[in-house]
Structure 1
Amino acid sequence: MRLSPTQVQRIQVEMNAEAIPEQHAITPDLQRTFGDHTFFLDGEGLAIVEASAEDSHVGNVVKVARWADADHTTLKIQTPQPTPLQVELDREDDQETPAARCSRR
């Protein structure tokens, strides 16, 4: 799932991760491989947020690739692995921009 800038900022803080900008040269390759998502890099590898099957207001953080080297220069695709991190997607106020709240399962 693609996230709003507000959601991205909140998730980056909670995950201690960096979002890969949509304009980055690698983004089209990631989208071909994993679909239309906002992608996050952290110390463990590459993650995405997928909509929860149980609640449309919740997203689950899923690891889709891990670092293949100690220098964090190469990613190795892995079987998608759900993490304990869930992201609550809702509106902060009457504005059109959704917000995200993160919690651990």
Structure 2
Amino acid sequence: MKLNEAQITKTLSRFRAQVLAEDHPAVAQFRELFGQHTFFLDARGLYILELLEVPGMEAEEGEVISLADWSDTDSNKLTTHQPEPTGVVIRLKEIRH
């Protein structure tokens, strides 16, 4: 999910990370692997926000999902893994527009 500025701010208020800038060299590669998302990095690895879909209803929340972990002590190399929910849920309904 691509986030707007308000959604990024809301996410960062609940999840301590950095947003990768759109022009960061790694973003193109991440998009090839994971699709169109806003990507977050922290001391553990790479994350995105996925909408929590409820059949028949508009999504109101998203959950931070872990996609890759740092595989070296210098945080220079990521190793991907199956997407893992983190339990961090962000309420988005009020800030979708």
TM-score (norm 1): 0.82
Measured in 2, the distance between the counterparts of 1:67 and 1:10 equals 25
What does 1:51-90 correspond to in 2, within 5 Å? Answer: 51-54=51-54, 56-90=59-93
Percentage identity across paired residues of the two chains: 31
- What is the one-letter code of the residue matched to 1:3? L
Which one has a larger percent strand, Structure 1 or Structure 2? 1
Across the two proteins, how many residue pairs are aligned to each other?
93
Return the offset for 1:12.
Answer: 2.0
- For structure 2, which runs of at least 5 residues remain unmatched after alignment? none
Moved over 3 A (4+): none
Give the alignment's Cα RMSD to 1 decimal.
1.3
- For structure 1, which runs of at least 5 residues remain unmatched after alignment? 92-97, 100-105
Return the offset for 1:79.
Answer: 0.8
Retained in 1: the 8 A contact 2:14–2:90? no
What does 1:17-36 correspond to in 2, within 5 Å? Answer: 17-36=17-36
- What is the one-letter code of the residue matched to 1:15? F
Measured in 1, the distance between the counterparts of 2:10 and 2:18 equals 11
Which one has a larger percent helix, Structure 1 or Structure 2? 2
Retained in 2: the 8 A contact 1:15–1:42? no
Measured in 1, the distance between the counterparts of 2:6 and 2:61 equals 15
Return the offset for 1:18.
Answer: 0.2
